[in-house]
Amino acid sequence: MPLHWRPFAAFLFALSQLAAQPPLPIAREGYVFAGGKYSTVSGKQVMSGQIYAEFQIPVKQTHPWPIVMVHGAGQTGTNFTGTPDGREGWAQFFLRRGYAVYVVDQPGRGRAPYQADLYGPTTQFSLDNALRFFIAPERYNLWPQAHLHTQWPGKGQPGDTVFDQFYASQVPYIQNALLTQELNRDALIALLEKTGPAILMTHSQSGAYGWPVADARPEWVKAVIAVEPSGPPFYDLETGASTTVESPNWSRYREGLSRPYGVTAVPLVYLPAIEKPSDLAIEQQSKADAPDLDRCWLQKSPARQLPNLAKVPILILTSEASYHATYDYCTVKYLEQAGVHANWTKLGDVGIHGNGHMMMLEKNSVEVAGVIARWLDRVASPGGGKTR
């Protein structure tokens, strides 16, 4: 096919995908900003800290609580409103199942304006890292499970229409992780004050926002769906530190506590109470649970508990080929140790194979969403129980 025909062919393919689904009956749609405050910068009043949320409410809303979808680092809400090869996204999937949905742009991202004087410097994923960690990890083999990746649509390289659509959506984001968590925690709580009780879906970076929001307002958060949440506990991992998976050192922990409260950089309610992060006594496993996993940092026994998070049904979802496959189990172990009994679902264990970190955009995204929907039917549906 001539190069100049490729965009048109992609457009026709997208139309065919849309035509495969009946029209969505929407009762109401719009947007809302939540949170934020006024500050004086260079003698002028500006607003910062606000979150943007685009909402759609179906005509037949069969579920009482909306789903608030929060994207990860370098992304915007477009991660949930479609796929780069033209299919419907998770927002439409759950709308068709009778959920109202609120799709977020984080503060300083997308349609929530960036205030350089207040937010500080930004960072952004390089094209190479997008390929290594999101699109084509099987070509780089930087962690033991990477070769299992098969689900990215298209050729997974610049010049391919699907890849170009994805990479065009990547945006700079606030470099300061603590500030980012503080802004999003406060803005999401403010959003819940507008929506009422809701289900909170996080992905990657935003996993660190779901925990403090549920911790602060467990009565408002009816469930947390943590899709490969920010982790592992306490320290960041540099994945791909070795160029061969034959080495036991395919990753290494970076110096400095990035999540001093275990799964967050912001405070959580522990029992017995803590006054500062150093009150949490921690140690690293002497040996990982399996040869293809990283060694976890956990609390020393007896572990302090997270009583508020223990009140909320939690699903942690991990794909088969993602770099999270080596350490999401550490997040699960940490929460369990603290009395939080999350439902951890590894997609490979339920017959869904080949996914990477951006599973909501991949070829089998509907199958993955189905796993979430079935869990919600058990824990957060009319007449449903509270079992995890």
Q: Which residues are catalytic?
A: 204
User: Is residue 214 a contact partner of residue 225, using CB atoms and an 8 Å limit?
Assistant: no
Tokens of 328: 């999401």
Both tokens assigned to 80: 């949930």
- Whole-angstrom CA distances from 302 to 259, 298, 322, 337, 338 are 20, 11, 32, 9, 9
Peptide bond into 302 cis (omega under 30): yes
Rounded CA-CA distance 189/259 in Å is 20
Integer Cα distance of 273 and 204 in angstroms: 28
The CA distance from 381 to 184, in Å, is 27
Q: Which spans in 222-321 are helix H?
A: none
Q: How far is CA 387 from the centre of its chain?
A: 23
Sequence-distant (6+) residues with CB within 8 A of 169 are 75, 76, 78, 79, 84
Helices 6-19/161-168 angle, 10° precision: 80
Cβ proximity of 317 and 356 under 8 Å: no
Task: Give φ, ψ of 203 to 5 degrees.
Answer: -140, 130
Q: Which residues contact 130 (CB under 8 A, 6 or more apart)?
A: 166, 167, 170
Phi first, then psi: give them for residue 39, nearest 5 degrees: -140, 160
User: Distance (Å, rounded) from C-alpha 228 to C-alpha 368?
Assistant: 13
